[in-house]
Amino acid sequence: MTAKANVLIIDFGSQVTQLIARRVREAGVYCEVIPFNRAADALVRLEPRAIILSGGPASVYDAQAPLAPPEAFDAGVPVLGICYGEQLMAHQLGGKVEGAHAREFGRAEVEIAGISPLFEGVWQPGQSYPVWMSHGDRITTMPPGFSVIARNANAPFAAIADEARRFYAVQFHPEVVHTPDGARLLQNFVHRIAGIEADWTMSAYRSEAITRIRNQVGKGRVICGLSGGVDSAVAAVLIHEAIGDQLTCVLVDHGLMRHGEAAEVVTLFRDSFNIPLVHVDASQLFLDGLCGVTDPEEKRKTIGRLFIDVFEAEAKKSGGADFLAQGTLYPDVIESVSYSGGPSVTIKSHHNVGGLPARMNMKLVEPLRELFKDEVRMLGRELGLPEAFVARHPFPGPGLAIRIPGEVTPERLAILRQADVIYLEEIRRAGLYDKIWQAFAVLLPVRTVGVMGDGRTYDHVLALRAVTSVDGMTADFYPFDMAFLAQVATRIINEVKGINRVTYDVTSKPPGTIEWE
């Protein structure tokens, strides 16, 4: 990662810690998220100019409650505590925290009780403003040197400040959209209080990343697996700009891609960017490997293993490779390490995450591991990738395999691929594609009796899914109107043999969950 981070976010297990990072990045300031028990080392390594303490599920008076390293308060830089972070500051700096008389979860209002640079240009003394609360404990005695700058009936110390030390703390969550002015408060903290300029740009990141890639790779050779998605494509173009023909891209056509996707990737890389590309038709290999496999996690592991096998074979054919490039993103990095510091649930078990077999003797190049998904798109535009490619919906590595619960067969793939094409055609026709983060069809392991014309059918049920999001950390279903859904369902049932019923999934993705598939 980058040697220095302007803002260090110490994570105590909040489901929305990543959103703090997003808001700071949106303010044009680079930051990193570090688990609390690695924070002391990170303070030395990153030399941050400001520190933010996240929320979390613990109570500060628990025997095993996570604490901030004392160095965080001795570093001489501004500190902002959020929710549990506020209680932690009070607890560690001489105040008192107790169980709340009334828990507070959801929308609330706070009254501004004092003038503070944290509220400058946003909130006025004596006025009340909406916020989002999520706490079961509260501060009952402030630490020495602090004063109240916001309160409400349930949280008399809803925001406190020690202006002399530039220590601030809020009981509410400014990072979530339910606190309408929260992003501006975080901007005040990083810009007005910490004095950090908005210098986090894709142009600067591009130059820095190219230098890092060159320093890491030297004269070595890199092999990059293209999945057809945005992440691997942006990683490949960035690496090629850094080291040129030392990079070889491999497109593994595993038979699980969307309609026409392999040809599109080949055209983009060979014709538009003149990047060395090996196109491997391994569809039969993958279909054979997935034969009889029904467990989704086993599918992922099978696909990941076969990807590695193909990469290894192609690396040998091309004269060997020293590095394997991957499109790992920052959410993968954050979520793959729990706040307690131990290994958490594996976020992705296919080829993007999980390391390499020792036999490959290759090191990883992960030039996007500091970026969120929307930042990857920004970098793609900076690198000159076509907008139609950069703006395309995310498509996880397991591809259509994970969208077929149960066994993957050529027949089921053909049905799903055709239905998916119709669904996306109708979304584009309605002018909705760019309003939706991700849309796809799922061929359910269910068959149902239906009537088509004068005959009875016994065919598959297809589920449609579409969600809105900014960075993929949280998402909500897209509210299609019934006329649109009726049009899509009619086309699919009429044009795709093997489907006689279509349903729409209205599941949301709350903070802290992993991924859709």
Assess contact for 464 and 477: CB atoms under 8 A. no
- 317 C-beta neighbours (distance < 10 Å), count: 12
End-to-end CA distance of the chain: 28
d(CA 172, CA 155): 10
d(CA 32, CA 141): 31
Within 8 A by CB and 6+ apart from 476, the residues are 467, 468, 469, 508, 509
Q: What burial class does residue 491 get, using C-beta atoms within 10 Å of its C-beta: 0-12 exposed, 13-18 middle, 19+ buried? A: middle
Helix (H) or strand (E) holding 421: helix 410-429
Out of 26, 32, 86, 175, which one is annotated catalytic? 175
Quick check: is 83 catalytic?
A: yes
- 276 C-beta neighbours (distance < 10 Å), count: 16
Out of 91, 135, 173, 351, which one is annotated catalytic? 173
Out of 31, 83, 224, 249, which one is annotated catalytic? 83
Q: Are strands 455-468 and 499-505 parallel, antiparallel or unpaired?
A: parallel
Chain center to CA of 316 = 33
d(CA 314, CA 248): 10
Annotated binding site for ATP: 227-233
Helix (H) or strand (E) holding 278: strand 277-281
DSSP state of 509: B
Assess contact for 168 and 80: CB atoms under 8 A. yes
Looking at beta carbons, which pairs linking 289-297 to residues 24 or more positions away fall under 8 Å?
290/401, 290/407, 290/408, 291/407, 292/407, 293/407, 293/408, 294/405, 294/406, 294/407, 296/402, 296/405, 296/517, 297/349
Quick check: is 173 catalytic?
A: yes
* Alpha carbon distances (Å) from 420 to 231, 257, 491: 21, 11, 11
Tokens of 406: 């149960």
Assess contact for 66 and 35: CB atoms under 8 A. no
d(CA 223, CA 365): 9
Active-site residue numbers?
Answer: 83, 173, 175
